[in-house]
């Protein structure tokens, strides 16, 4: 993107820049619209036949639906579709912020062990049944997953603060953590009985079928709290992309920024992962798509990552119902099997153009 010298001298740079970013605003709107369409497609597809027209009518006026149609729409289709969007957005945003504060495009809730820790927490609850009696098992598993997920990022933070570690060390700690957590989960699976083992394995697959309105509300509230906070730090985060030394010399308290952001995104990722299980790839691909399409000015990059994450998971949710008619595949499997080839294609085509 270059501008000829004549152009440059005739208009103010701010004006030129505004013209330049108009494309990005259009891309953001395009992403949002596509997400809306994907959401409708998600609601309109499923194992039971429910015509798209009926659904639209039912959304506006629920009295037009039969009782069973109403149950399908309100207790199955809508919660799944909404959960896909919220979890996708949460993971996309978390991945984007992690990549910036750790200065590493491979950082994501998955690669830093948040998902693996959630998996271990869920396994502990399922296999050893360490639940207070009053807690519904569904929530108990999520709670266990959440505690472990937040705990693992706290541990990484503590270790790296203790040893004054650089960002690379944090990433290495995270990767080491993934292996340890996976080994512990395998150990628990080894001692589990058949029923519990089956439950653990299924949890690990990552599925939207556990979505309920309560859980949606929780993820929505956390996302609604985190996204505006993220947006208040966009300038500092953008400046951090130039490099840690530069940011510090501009007067940005890099260590504090990193700690605050890591706390926030680990909460965000843990809440998302604990309700749906392991959905690995969204936190990596959301930010990558946003970076390719929108650049790294965080005013566009952060909402773009959230939207791209939401879109990928929503499309995966649609695909999970279409691949084998009559069966809803766990969405975690679909994101990897369908999403990763697409993602690789995107990256390779970008490389070729560059």
Partner 1 sequence: MTGSLKLEDVSVGYGRKPVLNHLDIGPLPPGSLVAVVGSNAVGKSTLLKAIAGLRTSSGRILLGDTDLSRLPLSGRVRLVGYLSQALPQPTSLVAYEAVTSAFRAVRGDLSTAEAERMVDEVFTALDLRNIALRRLSEMSGGQRQMVGLAQVLVRKPPLLLLDEPTSALDLRWQLNVLETVRTITRDDKVICLMAIHDINLALRFCDQLIVLGGGGLLAAGQPDVVMDAGLLRRAYGIEGRVEHCSRGFPIVLTDRAVAAPPMPQ
Tell which residue, 146, 147, 165, has the closest CA to residue 156: 165
Pick one of 189, 295, 336, 337: the residue that binds partner 1 (CB under 8 A).
295
How distant, in Å, are the alpha carbons of 160, 178, 221, 281 from that of 201? Answer: 32, 17, 29, 18
Alpha carbon distance 271, 267 (integer Å): 6
Q: Which two tokens stand for residue 123?
A: 């396994």
Closer to partner 1 at the Cβ: 218 or 261? 261
Residues 121-180 that bind partner 1 (CB under 8 A): none
Number of residues that bind partner 1 (CB under 8 A): 34
Residue 236 Cβ vs partner 1, minimum distance, rounded to whole Å: 4
Whether the CB-CB separation of 285 and 309 falls below 8 Å is answered with yes
Quickly count: other Cβ atoms within 10 Å of residue 338's Cβ: 17
Pick one of 30, 36, 242, 345: the residue that binds partner 1 (CB under 8 A).
242
Closer to partner 1 at the Cβ: 9 or 49? 9
Closer to partner 1 at the Cβ: 236 or 312? 236
Pick one of 35, 177, 252, 284: the residue that binds partner 1 (CB under 8 A).
252
CA 95 to mean position of chain CA atoms: 7
> Which string of x and - marks every residue 176-195 that binds partner 1 (by CB under 8 A)?
--------------------
Helices (H), 102-212: 114-128, 137-162, 167-191, 194-204
Tell which residue, 299, 126, 102, 130, has the closest CA to residue 210: 126
Per-residue buried b or exposed e for 204-241, using 16+ beta carbons within 10 Å of the residue's own CB: bbbbbebbeeebbebbbebbeebbeebeebbebbbbbb
Pick one of 40, 196, 297, 336: the residue that binds partner 1 (CB under 8 A).
297
Residues 220-239 that bind partner 1 (CB under 8 A): 235-236, 238-239
Residue 354 Cβ vs partner 1, minimum distance, rounded to whole Å: 8
Residue 304 Cβ vs partner 1, minimum distance, rounded to whole Å: 12
Residues 2-41 that bind partner 1 (CB under 8 A): 2-5, 8-9, 12-14, 16-17, 20
Q: Which two tokens stand for residue 328?
A: 């809803």
DSSP SS3 for 266: helix
CA 223 to mean position of chain CA atoms: 11
Segment interacting with partner 1 (CB under 8 A) among 111-119, 251-259, 267-275, 306-314: 251-259
Residue 281 Cβ vs partner 1, minimum distance, rounded to whole Å: 21
Residues 303-332 that bind partner 1 (CB under 8 A): none
Pick one of 155, 167, 248, 346: the residue that binds partner 1 (CB under 8 A).
248
Residue 230 Cβ vs partner 1, minimum distance, rounded to whole Å: 14
How distant, in Å, are the alpha carbons of 30, 82, 178, 217, 308 from that of 36? Answer: 10, 11, 35, 19, 12
Closer to partner 1 at the Cβ: 128 or 250? 250
Residue 129 Cβ vs partner 1, minimum distance, rounded to whole Å: 49
Tell which residue, 298, 272, 292, has the closest CA to residue 283: 272
Residue 15 Cβ vs partner 1, minimum distance, rounded to whole Å: 9
Whether the CB-CB separation of 27 and 304 falls below 8 Å is answered with yes
Closer to partner 1 at the Cβ: 54 or 297? 297
Closer to partner 1 at the Cβ: 148 or 301? 301
How distant, in Å, are the alpha carbons of 50, 317, 325 from that of 47? Answer: 9, 13, 7
- Binding residues for partner 1, rule: CB under 8 A, are 1-5, 8-9, 12-14, 16-17, 20, 103, 235-236, 238-239, 241-243, 245-253, 291, 295-297
């Amino acid at each position: 993107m270059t501008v000829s010298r004549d152009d440059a001298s005739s208009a103010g740079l701010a004006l030129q820049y505004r013209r330049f970013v108009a494309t990005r605003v259009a891309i953001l709107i395009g992403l949002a619209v596509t997400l809306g369409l994907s959401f409708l497609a998600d609601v309109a597809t499923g194992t039971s036949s429910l015509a798209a027209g009926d659904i639209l009518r039912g959304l506006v006026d629920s009295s037009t639906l039969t009782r069973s149609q109403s149950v399908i729409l309100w207790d199955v289709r809508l919660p799944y579709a909404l959960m896909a969007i919220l979890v996708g957005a949460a993971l996309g945003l978390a991945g984007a912020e992690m990549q910036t504060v750790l200065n590493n495009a491979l950082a994501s809730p998955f690669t830093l062990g948040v998902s693996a820790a959630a998996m271990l927490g869920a396994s502990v609850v399922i296999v050893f049944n360490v639940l207070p009696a009053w807690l519904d098992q569904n929530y108990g598993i999520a709670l266990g997953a959440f505690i472990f997920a937040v705990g693992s990022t706290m541990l990484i933070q503590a270790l790296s603060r203790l040893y004054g570690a650089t960002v690379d060390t944090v990433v290495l700690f995270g990767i080491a953590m993934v292996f340890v957590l996976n080994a512990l989960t395998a150990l628990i699976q080894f001692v589990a009985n058949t029923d519990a083992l089956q439950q653990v394995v299924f949890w690990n697959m990552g599925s939207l079928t556990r979505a309920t309105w309560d859980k949606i509300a929780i993820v929505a509230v956390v996302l609604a709290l985190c996204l505006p906070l993220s947006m208040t730090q966009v300038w500092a985060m953008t400046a951090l992309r130039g490099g840690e030394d530069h940011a510090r010399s501009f007067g940005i308290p890099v260590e504090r920024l990193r700690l605050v952001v890591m706390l926030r995104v680990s909460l965000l990722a843990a809440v998302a992962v604990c309700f749906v299980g392991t959905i690995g790839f969204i936190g990596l691909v959301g930010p990558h798509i946003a970076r390719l399409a929108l650049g790294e000015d965080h005013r566009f990059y952060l909402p773009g990552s959230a939207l791209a994450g939401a879109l990928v998971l929503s499309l995966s949710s649609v695909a999970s119902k279409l691949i084998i008619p009559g069966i809803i595949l766990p969405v975690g499997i679909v994101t990897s099997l369908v999403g990763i080839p697409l993602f690789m294609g995107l990256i390779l085509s970008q490389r070729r153009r560059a």
